[in-house]
Amino acid sequence: MKATILSCLLALLQAVAFAQFKTVAETPLFKEPESGFAKLLQLKNGNTVVIHLTNRNGINLTFYDPQHKLAVNKHHDPVFQKLRGARVNAIFEADGSVVILISEVEDRTPMLYRLVFDGLSGNLQREEKIAEAERYQFMDVRWIPEFDPVNSFAVSKDPSSDNYAIFIRRNRNEYADKNQMEVITYNGMHQETSRAFYQPPYKYTSLNYLDMAVLGEDRVCILGFAYNQIAASDREGQLVLLTLAKGGRKMTAELLDLPDNRIADSAVVRFNPVTKKLMLLGTSHIEDADPQPYNGFLAIIDPFKAKTEQFLNIYPSEADTQKKKLFGAKQSYTGTPQDLVLHEDGSYSIIYEELNPEKHTPLNGQAYTYYNLDNMAISNFDADNKLTFTSFIPKKQYLKNTAYSSFYLAHRRISAQQFIYGDQYRSFSYLNIKNRTYILMNDAEQNAGTSTDEVVQLKVPSNGQAYIYTTGISSPERAPFFGKLKKGETHALSVFNIADYNVERNTYVTLKLEVTAKEKGAKLVWLTPEE
């Protein structure tokens, strides 16, 4: 009896701990967008803009004024007309304008375009090709369905200013050591402030680009793995920090060590403005190691001294404990890091997810891959890199139409979400408010609590509900994000992956899907968290 009362009290306390999101405003229902790429931005002038791009129908921008009333609708047919091999590299605000960077393939050549729209009128201010990469060989062309998304360009923006940088893979030949890669930096008015080609550091000829961080107008720091290809499956190399200063025409290069002879495969880098350190969150492997160690790592780097100060063990042990409690002693947690979220006080959170590709090779057919997006975890560290808690959230999601790679969550923060056969309702998102992180996710209604090992897959997105988890304990409970369903509503979901939070106005905007017994429709909803 006492145990039951205690459990009820704990559940009540946890329910109270959830941030209640109060609806501030919402639009009338409109037809649910089902294709293309989309993103929401809350601009500094108070406007909210919906950016929707499609491969064949151009770009639509819909502006709502600070009172959340429809203000402007703009349509633009870009110079490249129909996108081929399209990738939305970045969407952000700079100098009061909406900036869109898109890459595509023209005559087998990857191109990067920059489009800038006025943040009040939505009028096009400039449209230009700013980079191109090496032309694809004819043998690389895929006849069906045209081209894979362009991977020749990367974009990074300083979160504290309007400065940004682009990275260009000009030559895909891994043995090429001249003009192989290039970095260009811009200020908020899109004026070039520095440009340099990659110069192989020391004895290494090739580079596996990982990520870069823009430190205001001062410099951009590029992290990569410099190497020589000894044999087909043998790379000899080291982590390298490349720095391009404002006005520079040459990068400096400093080699850094990875422990245990690890080879870095993929990563994201963040600059912590409180500690003044670079934080490289990555995955790696050790050649010929069997079994492979946990591949996630976090390196703390001083960008001004070009020195690695610390490597952290970031394996989420508490997530492993909770998964074994739920699914059995043989079920170890295999989630890898997907993003690093910085907090105002210098603390930070690492987001993990079990991303398991499932390859299929049908008879007399082209091979394809499904993606299982399974259990997630979040670990919080203080500014001194001490672990404060790990939360584990069981989930089971399945993607048939979208390919997700390592750190797709991190890349999506500056990019856009593709709308394709309902996959946009899967995955999850996260919201950082006053040093607290919330997990936002659509899920099957049956997955209430974590007392069962039968986690149900959300097969039909419109049959699910939008939920919020407040992290901070080992097994957080969920609560309906939009609160109690309205009269006539049967389901309420959200495309959390396109949402935007404005710190100054403490307002969160997202797209909501309302489902009734007779129909479904979408609307924008502005909410504010209540303490």
Residue pLDDT tens, the chain, 531 long:
444 444 444 444 444 444 579 999 999 999 999 999 999 999 999 999 999 998 778 899 999 999 999 999 999 998 876 666 678 999 999 999 999 999 988 877 889 999 999 999 999 999 999 999 888 776 555 543 455 667 889 999 999 999 999 999 876 544 444 457 899 999 999 999 999 998 877 788 888 999 999 999 999 999 999 988 887 777 788 999 999 999 999 999 999 988 888 999 999 999 999 999 999 999 999 888 888 889 999 999 999 999 999 999 999 999 999 999 999 999 999 999 999 999 999 999 999 999 988 887 877 777 777 888 999 999 999 999 999 999 999 999 988 877 788 899 999 999 999 998 888 999 999 999 987 899 999 999 888 765 566 888 888 888 889 999 999 999 999 999 999 998 989 999 999 999 999 999 999 999 999 999 889 999 999 999 876
Give domain status of residue 53, yes or no: no
Asked if the structure places residue 152 within a domain, the reply is no
Q: Which two tokens stand for residue 179?
A: 């003009």
- Residues with Cβ < 8 Å from 152, sequence gap 6 or more? 103, 110, 112, 133, 134, 168, 169, 170, 172
* Single-letter amino acid code for the residue at 163: N
Residue 84 CA, chain-centre distance (Å), reads 22
Predicted TM-score (pTM) of this structure: 0.91
Q: What one-character DSSP code corresponds to residue 424?
A: G
CA 194 to chain CA centroid, Å, is 26
On whether residue 437 sits in a domain, the answer given is: yes
Q: Please report whether residue 73 resides in a domain.
A: no
Question: Is residue 79, in this structure, part of any structural domain at all?
Answer: no
**Res 12: pLDDT:** 40
Give me Rg for the CA atoms of the chain.
Answer: 23
Q: What is the DSSP string of 338-369?
A: EEEEE-TTS-EEEEEEEEEEEEE--TTS--EE
- The count of structural domains within the chain is 1
Give the rounded distance of the alpha carbon of 504 from its chain centre.
22
Domain assignment of residue 356, given as a range: 19-34+314-530
* Domain assignment present for 490: yes
CB 378 within 8 A of CB 366: no
Let me know if residue 370 belongs to a domain.
Answer: yes
Any domain includes 30: yes
**The pLDDT of residue 462:** 81
Tell the burial category of 140 from Cβ atoms under 10 Å away from its Cβ (0-12, 13-18, 19+).
Answer: exposed
Name the DSSP class of 453: S
Distance CA 396, CA 373 (A): 6
**Among residues 78, 46, 50, which one has the least CA distance to residue 62?**
50
